[in-house]
Each structure stands twice: as structure tokens, then as C-alpha cells.
């Protein structure tokens, strides 16, 4: 009954999110071949719309001597140049569709996790599609419309309450957001009180924030019994964080992948498979020179206000050819570790991937959060936030890291450890483990 009320309320407000979710539920049982056929049809429509109504793409196709009708296969599409964040910065006004409704246009921006935030535009239909795909992903974890969703989110652009309380409007909507932009023990206690007010609740949030909350839960012994599943997003989910969150909440952890520019690209099912949502985005995997890694390039299939064709999102991923034991037709990918930008530079000019730095610290007990920062090649600073009463053994391990790093990299990386009370976040509220400021 509650679920039907929520769906009716959103429908009366003109939202199609539940209808779009149901469309996604129906799609998931189709074959990969049928999903690809439908995805290509959507992609062709997006290209046609972009060339007809977006000056940037109209000029691009003219320069290439192409017409929109020349793009009829995935192979045709792969011949187009990729779109970079710098392209967005330099060509923003020319990337707007002339067919877009200014009254429904939303000015958005990336979280700035790779430097300066990048502005772009979307419309309200994108948010409906995003919510529909988000709820579809939650069904992989067992969510039903009668269940509550609590978003513990750290971005100041997203409205959330610093002192969370549950009112009738939030309960009827089936979702509420509490602000994690700035938080400590008291705020985390408040979040736990909110979770305890629901019989069945699904938690969604940044990996780093939920890891901090998990540490707090284990420290104070207040395991929330009403949480059915946790969904993480926005940051790389490492194995030790997944285990920590699962232990604290006593439930399965599902990862979701997407971005503000192209939301809801992939989501993890109950069998651990990361499934591409083929109706939401089209993903391509380009070889990275000198590496076995594949560079992820995506095209959103829902934003007609500002279409992004072959967008360099800045992450690594690998397509998988096998199916998933869950039976869903959505194809599988493996999210390869870290962002493209997550590396440090050695004194001799070589690159050291961020996975190395995460590995050397993740097993040290008592570390709440950390960040490796570099502004000069060969010099790295480690900021560490430890829990109160951290053991002498852990402190010795942390202080020994500079010697270990120097040994592993033959002196081409000098590490300095600094203990801090807080780790700086990006403008969008994300926590970054690796920050390389070397141009």
C-alpha cells in the first residue's frame, strides 16, 4: 500500500521515475543481443538530435564531412573523436541544444575530483531517468517501493539536512538525504537514529563517508538492524572498505558507477556482477598505450539538452564476455582500480599507480582516512587521520612507510607522513586517496 501511494504521488507531480524503473525491470531479462539492438537505436537517435540541434556537433560533422545518417552502427560511431573535459570548458555555450526548454534546464557541475569543476547542462527528464535507473539498481539489492532510501551524501549542491529528522513529505517520497559535507561523531549518531526509525531501509552514499560511519558503528556497538543493503558510489570501493561496511551494517554492499555528467552507467547485482545499464548509457573501452588497462568512454542516452558523445570520463574498466549467474541480460564489466589520473610521478619521470599507495596503508589498524598528495615529482606527502588511542604498533608502521617506499622505488619517491585531524575533500565533497598536482 505504501509503495502504491509513493508511486501515485510522484506520478501526480509529473514524474516518470517509477514508470522508467519498471521499463528497466522489463529490459533486464532480455538477451544481450536484443539489449544491444535497442541501445544502438537509442544511440542513433541521440546522434541525429545532436547534429540537428547542437552547434558544436553540427560543426564537427561538417569538418569531418559526415552526416548524422552516416552513423548507423557502433563501428560508425567509434570513428568520431572523443570529447574531453577541456572541450566542455571551451565550448560550453555551443554544446547546448537549440531544442532544449530553458525553463527545464539545470546548470550542473562535476565534483572537481580531477581539478577544476566542469560545468554542463541537463534537464529534468535526465533526473527522472536517473532516479528510475537508480531504483532499478536498488531492486538488484532487494529494494521495493515500500522501503525507505536514506542518502548519506557529501555534496553541497545536493540538498540535505544537517540535523536530520523524518517528516511526512520525506516518508511519502520514500527517500531522504542527510548532509555529510561536514560531519563528526554527533552527526553520525544522528544518522543512526534516522536509520532506526524505519523497518526496512536502504543506505546510499560515498564510499569514504560510509567507511567512516562503519568505523563509528563498530566503535560504539550500534549496528543498525533495519538496513537491508548498502549501495556505494562516487569513489573507488576497495575490498577492505567493502568488508568493513558489510561487517558494520550486517548486510551486503552493492557498488554503483556513474557520474554527474553521465549518471547510472553500471550497478552491482546480488551475485557481485557489475552490470552496464544499456538504456542509460553506451560504454566503449579504448586501449591505454603501454598498458593492459582499458580507458572508459561513455555516451549518455538521456540528456537531450546537452548530449555528450564519446565522453572521456576518466576511469578504467574492462568489458567481460561471460554472463552473470543472476540471469540478467545487462552485460558485465570489471571496474579496474583507480581513476586514470590516480598516479604519482617518480623523480626519474616514471609513473606509480595509486593502487600501490593504497595497498601499503590499508592493512594498518586504526587508520580512519588517508590521502597521498604530490606537488613535486619524487616527493609525496601522506596525510593520515587515525582513531583515538591508535596503537603504538600502528604508529610505528606508519612512521616506517617512508623507508618502505624508498626501498620499493629505489629512492625515486620520498614519502613524508603527517598526522592530521581532517582530510581535505574536493569541492563536490568527495574524498580522494591520491592527489597529484604535478602538471
Is the same domain home to 323 and 348?
no
Answer with the residue of higher pLDDT: 109 or 383: 383
Dig out the grid coordinates for 430 from the structure.
Answer: 568527495
Is the same domain home to 334 and 356?
no
Residue 14: its pLDDT value, please?
A: 77
- What is the number of domains present in the chain? 2
Task: Calculate mean pLDDT across residues 143-169.
Answer: 71
Residue 341: its pLDDT value, please?
A: 56
Is the same domain home to 284 and 163?
yes
Is the same domain home to 11 and 93?
yes
* Percent over 70 (pLDDT), the chain: 90
Q: Which of 113, 110, 138, 112 is nearest to 122 (CA)?
A: 110
Give per-residue pLDDT as tens, 173-186: 788 988 876 677 88
Radius of gyration of the chain (CA): 22
Residue 115: its pLDDT value, please?
A: 47
Give per-residue pLDDT as tens, 388-438: 888 999 999 999 999 999 988 888 899 999 999 888 766 555 667 888 888
* Mean pLDDT (the chain, rounded): 87
Is the same domain home to 381 and 296?
no
Query: Which of 306, 340, 374 delimits the end of a domain?
Result: 340
Residue 164 predicted with pLDDT over 70 = no
Dig out the grid coordinates for 281 from the structure.
Answer: 548509457
The neighbouring-strand residues paired with 52 are: none
DSSP-assigned letters across all residues of 189-222: HHHHHHHTT-SSEEEEEEHHHHHHHHHHHHHHT-
* Percent over 90 (pLDDT), the chain: 55
The range of the structural domain enclosing residue 363 comes to 343-436
Is the same domain home to 267 and 368?
no
Is the same domain home to 138 and 22?
yes
Is the same domain home to 117 and 194?
yes
Query: Which of 311, 340, 369 delimits the end of a domain?
Result: 340
- CATH number for position 421: 3.30.300.30
Is the same domain home to 117 and 262?
yes
- Band of residue 345 on the pLDDT scale cut at 50, 70, 90: confident
Residue 172: its pLDDT value, please?
A: 73
Give per-residue pLDDT as tens, 247-266: 999 999 999 999 888 999 99
Give per-residue pLDDT as tens, 111-136: 554 445 678 888 888 888 999 999 99
Residue 48: its pLDDT value, please?
A: 98
Residue 57 predicted with pLDDT over 70 = yes
- CATH number for position 175: 3.40.50.12780
The neighbouring-strand residues paired with 416 are: 381
Query: Which of 281, 305, 340 delimits the end of a domain?
Result: 340
**Strands (E) located in 234-360:** 252-257, 266-268, 274-276, 281-287, 294-300, 311-316, 318-320, 332-334, 343-345, 351-353
Is the same domain home to 286 and 303?
yes
Q: Which of 113, 60, 66 is nearest to 91 (CA)?
A: 60
Is the same domain home to 107 and 30?
yes
Is the same domain home to 318 and 410?
no
Amino acid at each position: 500500500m505504501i509503495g502504491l501511494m509513493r508511486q501515485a504521488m510522484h506520478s501526480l507531480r509529473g514524474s516518470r521515475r517509477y514508470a522508467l524503473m519498471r521499463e528497466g525491470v522489463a529490459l533486464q531479462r532480455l538477451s544481450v543481443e536484443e539489449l544491444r539492438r535497442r541501445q544502438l537505436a537509442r544511440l542513433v537517435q541521440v546522434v541525429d538530435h545532436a547534429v540537428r540541434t547542437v552547434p558544436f556537433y553540427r560543426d564537427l560533422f561538417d569538418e569531418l564531412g559526415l552526416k548524422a545518417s552516416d552513423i548507423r552502427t557502433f563501428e560508425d560511431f567509434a570513428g568520431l573523436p572523443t570529447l574531453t573535459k577541456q572541450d566542455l570548458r571551451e565550448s560550453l555555450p555551443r554544446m547546448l541544444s537549440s531544442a532544449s526548454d530553458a525553463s527545464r534546464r539545470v546548470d550542473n557541475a562535476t565534483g572537481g575530483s580531477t581539478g577544476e569543476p566542469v560545468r554542463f547542462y541537463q534537464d529534468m527528464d535526465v533526473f527522472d531517468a536517473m532516479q528510475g535507473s537508480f531504483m532499478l539498481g536498488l531492486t538488484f539489492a532487494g529494494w521495493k517501493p515500500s522501503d525507505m532510501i536514506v542518502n548519506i551524501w557529501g555534496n553541497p549542491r545536493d540538498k540535505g539536512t544537517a540535523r536530520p529528522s523524518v517528516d511526512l513529505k520525506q516518508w511519502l517520497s520514500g527517500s531522504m538525504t542527510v548532509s555529510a559535507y561536514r560531519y563528526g561523531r554527533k552527526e553520525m549518531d544522528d544518522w543512526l537514529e534516522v536509520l532506526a526509525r524505519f523497518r526496512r531501509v536502504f543506505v546510499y552514499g560515498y564510499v569514504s563517508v560510509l567507511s567512516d560511519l562503519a568505523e563509528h558503528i563498530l566503535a560504539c556497538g550500534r549496528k543498525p538492524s533495519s538496513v537491508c543493503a548498502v549501495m556505494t558510489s562516487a569513489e573507488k570501493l576497495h575490498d577492505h572498505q567493502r568488508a568493513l561496511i558489510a561487517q558494520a551494517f550486517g548486510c551486503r554492499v552493492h557498488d554503483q558507477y556513474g557520474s554527474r555528467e553521465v549518471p547510472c552507467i553500471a550497478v552491482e547485482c546480488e551475485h557481485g556482477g557489475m552490470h552496464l545499464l544499456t538504456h542509460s548509457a553506451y560504454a566503449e573501452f579504448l586501449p591505454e598505450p603501454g598498458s593492459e588497462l582499458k580507458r572508459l568512454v561513455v555516451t549518455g542516452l538521456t540528456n537531450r539538452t546537452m548530449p555528450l558523445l564519446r565522453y572521456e570520463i576518466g576511469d578504467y574498466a574492462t568489458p567481460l564476455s561471460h554472463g552473470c549467474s543472476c540471469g540478467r541480460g545487462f552485460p558485465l564489466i570489471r571496474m579496474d582500480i583507480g581513476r586514470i589520473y590516480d598516479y604519482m610521478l617518480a623523480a626519474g619521470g616514471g609513473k606509480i599507480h595509486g593502487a600501490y599507495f593504497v595497498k601499503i596503508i590499508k592493512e594498518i589498524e586504526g587508520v580512519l582516512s588517508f590521502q597521498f598528495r604530490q606537488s613535486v615529482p619524487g616527493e609525496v606527502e601522506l596525510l593520515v587521520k587515525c582513531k583515538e588511542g591508535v596503537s603504538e604498533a600502528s604508529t610505528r608502521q606508519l612512521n616506517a612507510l617512508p623507508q618502505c617506499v624508498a626501498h620499493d622505488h629505489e629512492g625515486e619517491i620520498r614519502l613524508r607522513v603527517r598526522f592530521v585531524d581532517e582530510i581535505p575533500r574536493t569541492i563536490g565533497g568527495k574524498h580522494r586517496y591520491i592527489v597529484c598536482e604535478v602538471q
